[in-house]
Amino acid sequence: MIASVLPTYSRAPLTFTSGSGAWLTEADGRRFLDLGAGIAVNALGHAHPALVAALTAQAQSLWHVSNLYHIPAQQKLADLLVEHTFADTVFFTNSGTEACELAVKMARKYWYDKGQPDRTEIITFTGSFHGRSSAGIAAAGSEKMTKGFGPLLPGFTHLDFGDHDALTLAAARDNIAAIMVEPVQGEGGIRPLPDVCLKGLRDLCDRHGILMILDEVQCGMGRTGKLFAHEWAGITPDIMMVAKGIGGGFPLGAVLANENAASGMSAGTHGSTYGGNPLACAVGCAVMEIVADPAFLAEVNRKAGLLRQKLEGLVAAHPDVFVAVRGSGLMLGLKCKATNTDIVKAGYDQGVLTVPAADNVIRLLPPLTITDEEIGQAVARLDAVALHM
Ligand code: PLP
C-alpha cells in the first residue's frame, strides 16, 4: 500500500534523487537548474563540500543530547550570530514557524514583566507570512491560510504593507507590544519594504517604546547581498527570526534578540527538544563562516546585478508573459502576465525550477553560489519557457 503523505503544496511531477550546487538530478539522469534552492534554504546549493564535511564530522561524534546540556556546535553558532548581528541573545528552534512563535511570546512577555500585561497586540502587514502555526496564521491574517481553522488567536492588528498613516495611528495605541514585518516579503510576492519605510518603522517603534520584530526567515542569510536584509536600511531590530538559509538544508531556526527584548526569557520560559541540535548547528556554523564573509557577499551582489540585468532583458523580450522584475539581491521575483503556476510548470520541460508566490509572481531564489555561466543558462531556459507559453 502506498501511504498518503499530506502535501504542503500541490506537488510537481518530479522526483529528485541527488543534487550538486545549483543542479538537481532525477533518477534517469535528467538535470534541472534549481532557482528555488528549497525555497531559499539551500543557500550554498546542494551538497556543498564544507557543509558535507561539517555534517560528517559532527555525525561521527555526537547527534543529540537535548538542551539539558551544553552543546559546543550550538555555542559556536550563537557566537557567530552575535558577532555578526545586533543581537546579544540567541534561542535556537527547528524552523521559521517556531522562531516566529517564540518572537511573539518574547515580545508579550517583555511587556508583562514591565508591568503592562495588556500590552499584547502585534502589528503585522497584509501579504505577510510567518508560518502556519496558530499564531503564524493569525499574524498573517489572510483568509487563504485561516479559513476553516476555527477562531483566530487574538492579538494581531493587520495593516496594509507600507500604509504609513494607518501605521502611525495604530502605533500610538497603548496596547501595542511589537511591530512584526518581513524586510522583503517572500511568499507575498517578493515585495521589498523600501529602506525609508524600515527606517520610519524603527523611528515609530522608538517613539512609542514598541519592539521591532523582523522576520528574516526568507530574506536573511546573505540572500539580499547583506548578511541580513535590514542592514541595507542601516537600522537594527530588537528581535529577529532566522531560519531557512542558516541550516543550509538542515531544519534550523533561531530568534535573535537584544538583551533588553530578551530580558523576560529565562530557563524554562520557552523550550525545544531539538532546537539547536548538534548536527544542524554544525552545518549552520559552516554556512555562517562562508556567507558572513564580506568577499562572499560582494560576489552575491555582483551576481545579483548580472541576473537582474538578464531578467530585465527577458521581460522586455516577452511582454506577453512577464511584466517586471522586482526584489533585492538574489531574492528576485518576476511579476507575470501569464499565470505564474503555468510558467513554473512549463519550466519542468525546460529543466529550470522556480517557485510561485502571491501576486502572480514567480520567485527566483537560486543558491548564492550560482555561477555566471549558470545564470546565463537559467535565463536562456526561462527564455525557452516564455517562447512555449
Ligand atoms: N517566515 C517567513 C518570512 C517565511 O518565508 C517562512 C517560510 O516560508 C516562515 C516564516 C516559516 O518558516 P518554516 O517553513 O521554516 O517554518
CA distance 268 to 266: 6
The mean pLDDT of 274-299, rounded to a whole number, is 98
* Ligand 1 atom at minimal distance to the Cα of residue 218: 5
CB 188 less than 6 A from any atom of ligand 1: no
Superfamily per CATH, domain 16-48+295-387: Aspartate Aminotransferase, domain 1 (3.90.1150.10)
What Cα–Cα distance (Å) separates residue 331 from each residue in 117, 219, 365? 38, 7, 5
Q: How do 176-181 and 121-125 pair as beta strands? A: parallel
Residue nearest to atom 14 of ligand 1 (CA): 96
Question: Across the strands, what pairs with 19?
Answer: 24
pTM of the model: 0.97
Q: How many whole angstroms from 97 Cα to the centroid of ligand 1? A: 6
State the pLDDT at residue 272. 93
In contact, 100 and 139? CB cutoff 8 Å: yes
| pLDDT (tens digit per residue) in 170-216 | 999 999 999 999 999 999 999 999 999 999 999 999 999 999 999 99
| pLDDT (tens digit per residue) in 45-59 | 999 999 999 999 999
Q: Of 74, 104, 68, 73, give the one whose Cα is nearest residue 92.
A: 74
ipTM over 0.95: yes
CB 100 less than 6 A from any atom of ligand 1: yes
CB 185 less than 6 A from any atom of ligand 1: no
Domain at 51-291, CATH from 3.40.640.10, 3.40.50.300, 2.40.40.20, 3.40.190.10: 3.40.640.10
Q: Which pLDDT band holds residue 347 (cuts at 50, 70, 90)?
A: very high
Question: Across the strands, what pairs with 192?
Answer: 184
Please report, rounded to a whole number, the percentage of residues in the chain having pLDDT higher than 70.
Answer: 100
What Cα–Cα distance (Å) separates residue 357 from each residue in 42, 188, 194, 243? 18, 6, 19, 19
Q: Is 217 annotated as a binding residue?
A: yes
255 burial class (0-12, 13-18, 19+ CB within 10 angstroms)?
Answer: buried
CB 217 less than 6 A from any atom of ligand 1: yes
| pLDDT (tens digit per residue) in 354-389 | 999 999 999 999 999 999 999 999 999 999 999 999
CB 96 less than 6 A from any atom of ligand 1: yes
Q: Which pLDDT band holds residue 3 (cuts at 50, 70, 90)?
A: confident
* Ligand 1 atom at minimal distance to the Cα of residue 182: 3
What Cα–Cα distance (Å) separates residue 136 from each residue in 110, 122, 124, 152, 300? 19, 12, 11, 10, 30
Long-range contacts of 206-209 (CB under 8 A, 24+ apart): 207/171, 208/171, 208/172, 208/176
The mean pLDDT of 10-25, rounded to a whole number, is 95
* Ligand 1 atom at minimal distance to the Cα of residue 219: 3
CB 97 less than 6 A from any atom of ligand 1: yes
Domain edges within the chain: 16-48+295-387, 51-291
Q: How many whole angstroms from 244 Cα to the centroid of ligand 1? A: 7
Q: For the chain, give percent helix, strand, coil, nearest 5.
A: 40, 20, 40
Q: How many whole angstroms from 136 Cα to the centroid of ligand 1? A: 9
The mean pLDDT of 31-46, rounded to a whole number, is 98
CB 182 less than 6 A from any atom of ligand 1: yes
The mean pLDDT of 25-46, rounded to a whole number, is 97
State the pLDDT at residue 10. 80
